[in-house]
């Protein structure tokens, strides 16, 4: 499975089914670092999974976001039994919206 990354200044949380990845305390929009819309990656074998990730800024460095990318890729590829509240890298948690 290939992960396709779209970098945006302010990612939008999944409004329906999907997984949001938050850094820091709480599920505030300011803490949202990435989102995957839908669950095809979990239930099927898609060739590509699209992930929207925050662009580096004064709060989230490029190095930190590179680590987040690696953690999200592992999360998607391994398809954890428990998909919610998984810490994908230290301090970054997956919140399932579905």
SS3 content of the chain, % helix, strand, coil (to 5): 25, 35, 40
Task: Report the percentage of the chain scoring pLDDT > 90.
Answer: 52
Helix (H) or strand (E) holding 33: strand 32-37
Question: CA angle at residue 8 from 74 to 90, to 5 degrees?
Answer: 35
Q: Which domain holds residue 47?
A: 2-97
Whether 84 has a pLDDT exceeding 80, the answer reads no
Over residues 9-27, the pLDDT tens digits come to: 999 988 778 889 999 777 8
Q: Mean per-residue pLDDT for 18-39? A: 89
Count of domains observed in the chain: 1
Q: Which residues of 38-66 are buried (b: 16+ CB within 10 A; e: fewer)?
A: beebbeeeeeebebbbbeeeeebeeebbe
pTM listed for this prediction: 0.90
């Amino acid at each position: 499975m290939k992960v396709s990354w779209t970098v945006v200044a302010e990612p939008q949380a999944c409004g329906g089914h999907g997984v949001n990845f938050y850094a820091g305390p709480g599920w505030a929009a300011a803490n949202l670092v990435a989102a995957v819309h839908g669950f095809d990656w979990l239930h099927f074998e898609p060739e590509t999974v699209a992930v929207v990730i925050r662009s580096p800024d004064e709060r989230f460095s490029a190095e930190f976001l590179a680590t987040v990318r690696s953690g999200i890729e592992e999360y998607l590829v391994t398809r954890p039994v428990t998909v919610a509240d998984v810490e994908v890298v230290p301090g970054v948690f997956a919140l399932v919206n579905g």
